[in-house]
Structure 1
Amino acid sequence: MTVVSKDDKNLQQVLDKIAAMDEPRKGIMQRMHDVILAAAPELKPRIWYGMPGYARSASTPVIVFIRNDDLMSLGLSEKATLKPAGGRDGQLIPAAWFFDDLDEVTEKRVTEIVRAAIE
């Protein structure tokens, strides 16, 4: 009997969720998933509110998440440590970014956001 870890089960659920999406969003969301894990390989994927989320472990709060609703977005939970460059806009801190595709510049920015969120 093969024993499958909770992390492996959670990863498979995330991959299945992405695989069930329609193209071209499926490819874009898969790439976003790959960029997040490349930026922070220590993060563990799991389904969070029906979409992919990424946390330090299966039992800790999600820090980064991606959504595929009317718009695709990258978001940070309140557990992220992101501090806005250039200070706050009043009491607002950037916590969500919408995207409709990924290019090299966007992937680089996502990497920066994810790394800042887990510092």
Structure 2
Amino acid sequence: MTTKQTKRSDSGFSEAELAAMKERAAELRASKGGNKLAAEAERCVETIEGLPQPDRELAERIHAIVLAEAPQLAAKTWYGFPAYARDGKVVVFFKPASKFETRYATLGFEEAAQLDEGSMWATSFALTAIGKAEEKTIRALVRRAAGS
């Protein structure tokens, strides 16, 4: 059986990948008008609210952590994912498991994140639940990534 993730179009991209690219194009179009930051923050919250469980709970926790630990980052969406940016560049994002039908969600950090540690460091983490230990780690990573 072919899943939504693996079924390929004539372009070579999966249906999920094409949907993510269309979502990004819509984000770019939407960001050109009005109060950009407010609209992007609202879209981020709407995206989180639209996620199925358990992704929604994880995204809500990540959202609360980022707002508390790095309020200087702006909430937005990025390829349809909740994301948080500095000067328009994504620093941290949450990729729900349901988006690409994977067994775990991903907490990821982009190039703008200040996580450099020697010549090798992690830029993404598999996430299935957020307990006290995970929350402590996420808070520290977000603070560090944001330069707080």
| Same structural fold, with TM-score higher than 0.5 when normalized by the shorter chain | yes
- Residue 80 of structure 1 is matched in structure 2 by 113
TM (norm. structure 2) is 0.68
Aligned residue-pair number? 109
Higher relative CO (CA 8 A, sep ≥ 6), structure 1 or 2?
A: 1
For residues 96 and 52 of structure 2, the distance between their equivalents in structure 1, rounded to whole angstroms, comes to 10
Report whether the alignment pairs 1:106 with 2:139.
no
Give the corresponding residue for 1:56: 86
Q: TM-score, normalised by structure 1?
A: 0.83
* Deviation >3 Å, runs of 4+: none
Structure 1: give runs of 5+ residues left out of the alignment. Answer: none
Check if 1:96 corresponds to 2:124: yes
Deviation of the 1:5 alpha carbon? 2.7
- Partners of 2:135 and 2:69 lie apart in 1 by 10
**Percent identity between the two aligned chains:** 28
Over the aligned positions, Cα root-mean-square deviation in angstroms equals 1.5
- The structure in which a higher percent of residues are helix is 2
Alignment gaps of 5+ in structure 2: 1-33
Counterparts of 1:104 and 1:5, CA distance in 2: 36
